Copies of this chain bind each other. A is one copy, B any other.
Amino acid sequence: MADEKPQVSFIGLGAMGFGMATHLLKQGYTVTGFDVWGPTLDRFEAAGGRRAATPAEAVADKPFCVCMVATAQQAQSVLVEGPHAAVSTLPKGAALLLCSTVPCEYVQSLQQKLEGLGRGDILLVDCPVSGGAGRAADGTLSIMAGASAAALAKARPLLAEMADPSKLYIVQGGVGAGSNMKMVHQVLAACQILAASEAMGFADHLGVNLTKAHDAVLASDAWNWMFEHRVPRMLAQPQFQPVASAILIIMKDTSIITAEARRCSFPTLMTSTAEQVYFSGIVRGFGPDDDSSLIRLYTDGKSKTKPAQALGEEEEKKALDLVINLLKGILLCSAAEAIAFAQAVGLDLDQVFDLCINAAGGSKMLQKHGPEMIKAFRNGTAIKGWDSADSGGERLIDVAESLRDAVTEAQRLKMPLFLGNQASSLMTLALKAGTSSPAAGSVVKVWAAGLV
């Protein structure tokens, strides 16, 4: 079977890359790996892979190269600038799949750089992924790929090996469009990873049993993928193990979002708020820790392993509602920011919605209110009277007032709710500009000046 499948080189065997590369081995590919960290290569060999000492050695004579390093700087080094960069030995017409999360601006500059080096023959595919290490190893990632038609034609079978059949998205717009799609998805990820810590920190201050809070959120309209995946690690006190995704990783993606937003004058009001909190964690030395450990910024000295004080049944119900309503408000605003940003960078909003809802950025609030936001953009710039019937009757004022109760209670407890307060302020802005009883999704008008 191995001789039927093309040879693949794989650069960057970290948590994601190792899973993806070993999945390809299991599918019968011959994979030659390179990583700067020797022990990883030992593991890769043990799993049936071949090892290379440099990127140039890895890619030589292979018609496909997958690059899954952590940053644009690393990609630049292993692909074009380092002493043994891949470009020197990549065969003519090879497909180069850049799966790292990088700025749109970077991957477009890489394309130009290759052309400048006389290697316009290399078929660059801008194809970041989402789904975490588990889905990487299963070959069921979400992949968003932008490239020339020729590059997509060549790379598609290999992309299909690594993606879930329903989650391979071809993004119109060529090289850069895949990265833009990933960036928009990461707006949701960046807000929702922090929201999990903010909501659970709030629950802790309220005296709610954290396992009950976890269960109540998952059964509510505040369900979101990140909460479901982060909170179990958060509850594994006191070490927040295993480190599935470090704070430094989401911080890096967050900075891509806010830097690109500045470049195109888009106001990432929610993501910028999250970014400052991530930096606060970095300043305190938490960068390499699992991102679920950010709950410490909200609870700190308090012991989260101590049994919660017993709340009465009614008190507990009220407290759980506050936690759920906090999350609903944050989720509504992060959905609005993501969709408005997608519109600003020219993505197909239906594709954005379909991708996000089925990836790590998924949430019930996006599912429920995303379509009305998208409809507003489709109908143009003069949507009056957002009918709340469009969203099953959920009105912005109701989401806003429920969130306001949560924010008021946190103020009484003297604890920060960075995202909750920002979402509350933004809903106040939207309601000032709005019609009498707008649908929840109409909050998107804050980000889209024309939509009044």
Contacts and interface: CB of A to CB of B under 8 A. Distances in A.
A435 interface: no
A297 B280 contact: yes
Contact of A429 (B267, B276, B282, B421): B267
Contacts of A157: none
Contacts of A52: none
Interface of A: 251, 255, 258-259, 262, 265-269, 272-273, 275-277, 279-280, 282-285, 297-301, 404, 407-408, 410-411, 414-418, 421-422, 424-426, 428-429, 431-433, 446, 449
Contact of A301 (B269, B285, B417, B431): B285
Given A279-B416, A416-B276, A428 B298 contact: no
14 contacts: A265-B432, A266-B428, A267-B426, A269-B425, A272-B424, A272-B425, A273-B422, A275-B411, A275-B421, A280-B297, A280-B416, A282-B415, A283-B298, A429-B446
B300 A428 contact: no
B408 A276 contact: no
A417 B425 CA distance: 19
Nearest to A427: B267
B262 A407 contact: yes
A424 B267 CA distance: 8
Contacts of A417: 276
A417 B258 CA distance: 13
B449 A259 contact: no
A276 B432 contact: no
Nearest to A410: B279
A279 B415 contact: yes
Contact of A280 (B262, B280, B282): B280
A325 to B, nearest CB: 14
Contacts of A429: 267, 269, 446, 449
Given A262-B408, A265-B431, A273-B273, 6 more contacts: A258-B421, A265-B432, A266-B428, A273-B422, A280-B280, A283-B414
B404 A262 contact: yes
A429 B272 CA distance: 14
Given A275-B421, A276-B421, A425-B267, A416 B262 contact: no
Contacts of A297: 280, 283
Nearest to A428: B267
A259 B267 CA distance: 26
Nearest to A433: B449
From A404, A411, A415, name the one whose CB has the most chain B CB atoms within 10 angstroms. A411
A267 B415 contact: no
Contacts of A283: 297-301, 414-416
Contacts of A407: 262
A414 B268 CA distance: 17
A280 B280 CA distance: 10
Contacts of A421: 258, 272-273, 275-276
A289 to B, nearest CB: 15
The 6 closest A-B pairs by CB, nearest first: A279-B416, A276-B416, A267-B428, A432-B449, A272-B421, A267-B425
Contacts of A414: 251, 279, 282-283
Contacts of A279: 410, 414-416
A422 B262 contact: no
A272 B433 contact: no
B255 A411 contact: yes
Nearest to A400: B265
B422 A272 contact: yes
A448 to B, nearest CB: 9
A183 to B, nearest CB: 15
From A255, A408, A429, A431, name the one whose CB has the most chain B CB atoms within 10 angstroms. A429
Given A259-B408, A277-B416, A416-B276, A284 B300 contact: yes
A432 B422 CA distance: 19
A290 B300 CA distance: 21
A422 B272 CA distance: 8
